[in-house]
A and B are shown apart, each in its own frame.
Chain A
Amino acid sequence: MLNETLKLSWHIVRRNWWVYRKDFLANISPTVTDPAFMICSLGLGLGSYVSEMHDRTYLQFLAPGLAVGTAMFTAFFETSYGFYIRMTYESVFKAMLATPIGVREVILGEFIWVALKSALMVFGVSVVFLLFGQFQNPLNLLLTPVVGILVGVPIGAVGLIATCYVRNINQFQTVYSFIISPLYFFSGIFFPLTQMPEVVQLFAKVLPLYHGVVLCQSLYWNENIAAVWLVHVPVLLAYSAALLLWAYYKVLSKLQA
C-alpha cells in the first residue's frame, strides 16, 4: 500500500524532472547567476563600505543566506505558480487522477520534487560560492542539500496552501509581497538580526527561513555545526510536518470535489 504510493509518487517526480530537464540551462541559470551577481554588487560593491560584520567580511556574511534564499524562491515558485499552472491551465492532474494515482500521490510527489529541487539549488549555489572561497571547510558543502530540503518543504507547503486560496494567478503576487518578501528580508540574510528591535527579532525567529539561514551559516563558517543543527533542525521539521498536513488537506478538498 505505502510501497505503491511511493512508487506512484516517484513517477510524478520523474514527470516533473522530464519537463524540467528539457530547458535545463534556462531553468538553472537564474538560480546560479543571481547569487553570483549579488555577490558582485552587494558583496564587493556595498561590502567595501561595510568594514566588518561579526568578525567577517560582508561577502562571507551574505553568502550562506543567499544560498538559502534561492531554495525558498525555488520552492515557493514551484508550488505556487508552477502547481497552479499544472492544475488549471495544463489540467495535468485531471488525466493523472483517472489513473491509479490519487490526490495523496500527487501531493507526495510534488513535495518530493520540491525538496529535491530546493536541495539541488542550495547545492548548486554553494558550489559557486565554494569557487569564490566562501567555505572554511569544503566538506561541509555535502550537507547543504539537507538545508535545501528542510527549507523547501515548509515553504513549498506555503505555496501549495496559497494555491488553494487564490482565485486567479495574479493573487500570488500578494502572497509574495506579504509573506515571501518579508521572510527574505527579515531572516538574517543581509544583516545580523541583533541589529533589529526585539519585536522584529522575535518575529523573524518564529518564522522558518531564519532557522534555515542559521543552519547554512554554520556550514559556511564551519562554526558549532552540531550544536546549531541540534536546535534548529527540529524547528524546521516541526514546521514541515504542520504545514505539510495543512497543505495536504487543502489540496485534497481542492482536487477531490
Chain B
Amino acid sequence: MQGSRRAHAPPLRSFRQIVEQLSYSEAVLDIELGLCLIYGMHSSPVVSIEQIRKSFGLFEAVRGVSCRIEAGECFGLLGPNGAGKSTLINMIYGASRRTSGKLEVFGMDPNVSSRAIKARLGVVTQENALDEGLTVRENMELYAAFVGVPARERKQRVRDLLGFMNLAHKENEPIQTLSGGMQRRLVFVRALLGKPELVILDEPTTGLDPAVRHLLWGKVNQLKAEGKTILLTTHYMHEAEVLCDRLVIMNKGEVIASGTPKDLREAHASGYVAVFETGEDFAALRTGAGSRSYQVLEDSSGLYVRAPRLEDLLDLQKEHGRQALQLRPSNLEDVFLKLTGPELNVDA
C-alpha cells in the first residue's frame, strides 16, 4: 500500500519553490505529502494488535498475536477450528476481555470504550442469532434502534438494506420461513444498519451453497469499493483468496504466516499441484516425487505432489503411468495444509 502511494506522489520540491508556484492550499497539501514520504507516515490503522493474549483458565486460546488492519483493506484471519480466530474477534469488539497485550480499535481500547467502538463497526456473527419470535422487519428495526438510527429513519434504512441484499420481498415474513442463505443475508443487513466503518465477517459463508457464497462475495466486494474496512475469518481458502488483500494464518493461538495471498503462495507453496487418488499404492509415486525433491503431502484424502512447473507433474504422471485426479496451480489451501499440518484434523 505504501509503495503505491509513493509512486503517485509528485517529486519533492523545496518549500520556497512550492510557495512561489502554488496557491497556499496546494502548498500545504504538498508539504503534507512530502512529510508523509519523509517520515513514512500514513493514516493510523483501524485495528492495531500487539502481543495480545487470552487465557480461559489454564487454556491459552490466543498466545501473543500481533497485526494491524489498515483502513479500506480486507484483512483475512484464517486457521483451523480452535485456532483462536473467534476469540481474537470477540476481543476486538469487546465481547471478551484480553488477558494481556495491547489492542486499539479506531485508536480506542475496547476494554474502556467498547460502546464507542461498537457504534462504528458491524458484525456478521458466526451464528445467525436472529430473533425467531419477530418478523424480518421487526428484527431489523430493533437492531436499527440498537445501533442508534433515529426512529424516523429506521424504516427507510431497513428497506434500503433489505433491497441491497435482495430481501425486500421478505420484509413481513417471520424468520423461520427464510432459507439458510436468506437468513445469512439478513445477518449482513443487520451488520450494516449502523453504516459501520469496519465490518467484521465471522465465517460468513459457512454452510452455504456455492450460489449464495458467490452472491455474498459480490456484496463484500461492493462494501470494499465503498471504502469499508473488512475483517474476515473463514475456513475456505478460496474465499480468502478471492476477497482478502492481506491475511494471517493462525494455528493454536499463534500467527504462523502473514502476507498477501500471492506472497503466501510464493513463499510457502509455489508452483503446481497434482492430487492422486487415495487407496492406491502410493509408494512408487512417493519415492519418485521425493527423489526429484518435490513436496509430498499424504493424508486420508490422497497424495498431494507439488512441483515448480506443470511439465514436471506431467512427466511424473507419464513415468508412473498414473493419471492425477487434479492438476492445478497451487493455492492457499496448499499453504494452509503445509503450515497447519495434516494432524490438525485430529484436534478439530
Contacts and interface: CB of A to CB of B under 8 A. Distances in A.
Interface of A: 4, 8, 11, 14-15, 18-19, 22, 90-92, 94-102, 256-257
23 contacts: A8-B146, A15-B131, A15-B142, A18-B133, A18-B138, A19-B131, A22-B133, A94-B125, A95-B123, A95-B128, A95-B143, A95-B187, A95-B190, A98-B122, A98-B123, A98-B125, A98-B191, A99-B146, A99-B194, A101-B146, A102-B94, A102-B115, A257-B95
A220 to B, nearest CB: 35
A94 B138 CA distance: 18
Contacts of A97: 95
A256 B128 CA distance: 19
Nearest to B131: A92
A6 to B, nearest CB: 13
Contacts of B123: 95, 98
From B94, B95, B96, name the one whose CB has the most chain A CB atoms within 10 angstroms: B95
B114 A102 contact: yes
B190 A14 contact: no
Contact of B147 (A14, A19, A92, A100): A100
Contact of A98 (B56, B95, B134): B95
Interface in B152-175: none
Given A19-B134, A256-B96, A99 B118 contact: yes
Contacts of A102: 94, 114-115
B61 to A, nearest CB: 10
B142 A14 contact: yes
Interface in B166-203: 187, 190-191, 194, 200
B97 A91 contact: no
Main secondary structure of the interface of A (DSSP, over half): helix
A100 B133 contact: no
Contacts of A92: 129, 131
Contacts of A8: 146
Nearest to B124: A98
A95 B134 contact: no
From B96, B122, B133, name the one whose CB has the most chain A CB atoms within 10 angstroms: B133
A117 to B, nearest CB: 15
Q: Which 4 A-B pairs have the closest CB atoms?
A: A19-B133, A98-B123, A95-B129, A91-B129
A9 to B, nearest CB: 11
A100 B146 contact: yes
B133 A99 contact: no
B228 to A, nearest CB: 16
A90 B131 contact: yes
From A94, A95, A102, name the one whose CB has the most chain B CB atoms within 10 angstroms: A95
Contacts of A18: 133-134, 138, 142
From B115, B127, B142, name the one whose CB has the most chain A CB atoms within 10 angstroms: B115
Contact of B96 (A15, A99, A100, A257): A257
Contacts of B119: 100
A175 to B, nearest CB: 25
B145 interface: yes
Given A8-B146, A98-B118, A102-B114, A256 B95 contact: yes
Given A15-B142, A19-B134, A100 B115 contact: yes
Nearest to B120: A100
Contacts of A101: 146
Contact of B129 (A19, A90, A257): A90
A23 to B, nearest CB: 9
Nearest to B117: A100
Contact of A100 (B56, B125, B131, B148): B148
B93 interface: yes
B132 interface: yes
